[in-house]
Amino acid sequence: MFRPMRLPSDAPLVFLVHGFLRTGASMVPMGAGLRLHGFRSSVITQMNLHQEIPVLADSLFEHVCRVRDRHQAKTGRRPDAHFVTHSMGGVVVRSMLSRHEVDGPNHCVFLAPPNNGSRLAEHMRERLAFPWGSFDPLAKLLPGERGQCADSGDPDAIIGIIVGTGSRGVNAPWGTLSNGFEIAQEGEHDGTVAADETHLDSAVGSVRVPYNHSLMMLRRPVIDLAARFLKHGNFD
């Protein structure tokens, strides 16, 4: 009979944060892979369609505190808080670590984060041309000062970025709607986020992988890279 691998009580704790229009289910395979590397994970689901990034950041902080409090009550030690995120989840973590103090060496691995906003979100917002009114879910993802990504903070954390360059393949939900729109005509992209949109000045390292945006968190090499950064604070 199959028995899941038992982890010691002092196993490092990693919070897994999903992207826009996803749920925590998209990060479960990442959690399973990290468990093989000796990490305990906590997956959160946030309804992020209509929520502003600072609101999502505050909600995430509350979740992180609850999980760490429970762990401390059970084991007598407060675990450090590490993070692996996909897409907009990285922006939410940046905002959270900038708005709140989360003690410990916070190692963060961001998969394809739109740190500077998303030209594809801008394209889709213009193409859909809804009379958005007060409901404008793509506004937070707009490039530069028009959105909330670029101004979400530059926290004092050890951050590594994994950049996708596999522009072909399934890229839900944008791939169906964009009708072949090339978001990165002048450079590399993963079909959703362009490589230059992932840049963050304070990141200590970045690495490119030949995978597309929607499914990169399922790839074993990506999981191994994330585990390496969580352990050592670099991709080398």
Distances from the Cα of 178 to the Cα of 95, 131, 217, 227, angstroms = 28, 19, 22, 33
Give the residue extent of every domain in the chain: 13-232
Beta strands 107-111 and 82-86 are parallel
| Dihedral (CA of 212, 217, 219, 221) sign | positive
Per-residue pLDDT 10s for the chain (236 aa) are 445 568 877 889 999 999 999 999 999 999 999 999 999 999 999 999 999 999 999 999 999 999 999 999 999 999 999 999 999 999 999 999 999 999 888 999 999 999 999 999 998 888 877 676 777 889 999 999 999 999 999 999 999 999 999 876 545 555 544 444 555 456 789 989 999 999 999 999 999 999 999 999 999 999 999 999 999 999 98
Distance CA 193, CA 33 (A): 24
Cβ within 8 Å of residue 23, ≥6 positions away? 45
The verdict on domain 13-232 having CATH code 3.40.50.1820 is yes
Neighbouring C-beta atoms of residue 179, cutoff 10 Å: 7
**What DSSP string runs through 29-80?**
HHHHHHHHTT-EEEEE----SS--HHHHHHHHHHHHHHHHHHHHHHHSSPPP
The pairing of beta strand 40-44 with beta strand 205-209 = unpaired
